Amino acid sequence: MTTDLLAVTPEIIQRYNRPGPRYTSYPTVPVWSEGYFSEDYAACLQKEGLNEKPISLYLHIPFCRQLCTFCGCNKNITNNQDIVERYLDALDQEIAGVAKLLGVRKKIAQVHFGGGTPTYLNHSQLRRVVEMIHSCFDVQEDGEWALEADPRVTTNKQLELLYELGFRRISFGVQDLDPAIQQAINRNQTVEQSWRTLETARNLGYKSINMDLIYGLPLQTRQSFRKTLEEVYKMRPDRLAIYSFAYLPGMFKTHKRAIREKDLPSPEEKIAIYLETIRFLDEAGYVMIGMDHYALPTDELALAAKNRTLHRNFMGYTTLHNMAQIGVGVSAISDFGDSYWQNTKEIDQYMNEATEKKLIPRKGMILDEEDLLRRDLIETLMCHGEISITDFETRYKIIFQDHFSQAWKKLEQFKQEGLVKLSLEKIELTPVGILFTRNLAMPFDRYLEESANQHFSKTV
């Protein structure tokens, strides 16, 4: 995907830069029901056990040494090793409980350690977690092991150990390399730390090394971010995730307390940073994969985007299709069959319940046929930037324009503004429309009004 940046006017940006979901799931998390879902979850896991396909396992390791004030992840800042050990005990119980409900030794095609900071764990703790997985599941020979790592706390020895344990994909948090900006977000990370971890990982043989950056952080300007990009370009990671800063003072106390709104780039400056980033990366040879994600043309994700085999899930874009994803750990999300589940976000509650062998997701949703159709449609739009109307009509036995009559009216409006091309056969995002993919998916979201009071970040 490339973008005709000249066609992006300030008016379009003003009109569309409004709160909206990122659609890592549809329906989005805020509309799932809240409650106590142990029985429903158990029943769905038992059903999933009958499915012979391998699964993807996500483990949430919430611990971090220090708080980055911009952070929107579910994290726990601690130096208390007792809590960490208790958490691992709970995780052990939860993994065993899930495996028991699945009823068979399931095959695993993908393991992902996310956080927080998985490399917060020491060697024996990392070994222990990997052992928990092997004791309950059969990880395929070609299974993909991935993790998120903070260069400030990740040692070369840890990278060696993780490689030995099977990890081949790694994602490093960088965010921004400017010391003043780092100061403003309480994340001091030297360029050398980023270089060291990247080069060590590369020399060890890790592939698809990713770096996370964020645009829209306090004190950032076009010039400052360009410098960060130039430095990152020298490192040439295989993938880059460049997120829009989700500033949510109503949701995160640290955003409210520690980030002054007046220090944030203006909406115009933020969008200018974004556009310049796309231009820079295009010239640097990176392919835009979809929202926020870029990859070198030889990377598997870029190839999948080209071959239209790209998919999207909670962890972003992936080449794995239609694979049950089971999440364990505090706040972890599961996505399998026709259901979504989320564990409690409270670490004490999680540790107490999991150690008592209770599995109680606090949020959940079973999708009906209409949800499944819309999920498919939104994912297709997010991954491929176009929808084959005829394909959807055949597969779901609908008359597209009748079924989505309200959405179609919105699409007509988008067409006038040059964001989509519409025909009876397909809906196709224009290069400018690609920048507003989230907005273009929103008319197909039947719960948007219901979730209107929830906290979403701005779409750009």
State which residue, 96 or 235, has the beta carbon closest to ligand SAM.
Answer: 235
- Which of ligand SAM, ligand SF4, none binds 67 (CB below 5-8 Å, type-dependent)? ligand SF4
**d(Cα 119, Cα 140) in Å, to the nearest integer?**
23
**d(Cα 245, Cα 164) in Å, to the nearest integer?**
35
State which residue, 16 or 245, has the beta carbon closest to ligand SAM.
Answer: 245
Q: How many residues bind ligand SAM (CB under 6 A)?
A: 18
Cα three-residue angle 73-20-333, rounded to 5 degrees: 40
- Which of ligand SF4, ligand SAM, none binds 54 (CB below 5-8 Å, type-dependent)? none
User: Minimum CB separation from ligand SF4 for residue 150, in Å?
Assistant: 5
Nearest residue to ligand SAM on Cβ basis: 173
Given the rule CB under 6 A, which residues bind ligand SF4? 64, 67-68, 71, 73, 75, 115-117, 150, 173
Site for ligand SAM in 318-347 (CB under 6 A): none
User: Minimum CB separation from ligand SAM for residue 336, in Å?
Assistant: 22
- Which of ligand SF4, ligand SAM, none binds 87 (CB below 5-8 Å, type-dependent)? none
- Which of ligand SF4, ligand SAM, none binds 209 (CB below 5-8 Å, type-dependent)? none
Over the window 101 to 140, marking each residue x when it contacts ligand SAM by CB under 6 A and - when it does not, the resulting string is: -------------xxxx-----------------------
From the list 13, 31, 71, 90, which residue makes contact with ligand SAM (rule: CB under 6 A)? 71
Q: Which residues bind ligand SAM (CB under 6 A)?
A: 64, 70-73, 114-117, 148, 150, 173, 175, 212, 214, 243, 245-246
